[in-house]
Amino acid sequence: TILLFTPLILLVSIASAILEDSGLAPRLAIGLHTILSRFGLSGHATLPIILGFGCNVPSILSTRTLVNSYERLRLLITLSFIPCQARLIVFLATASALGSPYGLILVILSYAIALTIFIIINWVLFRISILKGEVYIPDILLEIPPVHKPLAKVVWWNAWSNTKHFLIKAGFIIFTVSVINWFILNYSPSLNLIDNPGASIGASIARYLSPILKPIGIHGDNSWIPALALITGFIAKEIYLVTLLTSTGSTDLSSAFQTIGLGLPEIYALTVIVTLYTPCLATVAIIYNESRSIKLTLATTALTILVAYLTGLITYVILRIII
**pLDDT category of residue 1 using cuts at 50, 70 and 90:** low
The pLDDT of residue 243 is: 85
Higher-pLDDT residue of 299, 52:
299
CA-based R_g, the chain, Å: 21
Over the stretch 91-130, which tens digit does the pLDDT of each residue have?
A: 988 999 998 899 999 999 999 999 999 999 999 998 888 8
Reduce the DSSP state of residue 40 to 3 states and report it: coil
The pLDDT of residue 309 is: 97
The pLDDT of residue 75 is: 95
Task: Single out the residue of 178, 185, 221 nearest to residue 205, CA to CA.
Answer: 185
Residue 64 pLDDT > 90:
no
The pLDDT of residue 239 is: 84
> Can you state the angle between helices 2-22 and 171-186, rounded to 10 degrees?
150
The pLDDT of residue 29 is: 75
Over the stretch 249-277, which tens digit does the pLDDT of each residue have?
A: 888 899 999 999 999 999 999 999 999 99
Q: How many Å apart are CA 247 and CA 254, to the nearest integer?
A: 14
Average pLDDT, the chain: 86
pTM of the predicted structure, to 2 decimals: 0.83
Q: Are 309 and 211 in contact (CB under 8 A)?
A: no
Calculate what percentage of the chain has a pLDDT beyond 90. 37
The pLDDT of residue 42 is: 85
Mean pLDDT of 139-167: 76
Over the stretch 287-310, which tens digit does the pLDDT of each residue have?
A: 999 998 999 999 999 999 999 999
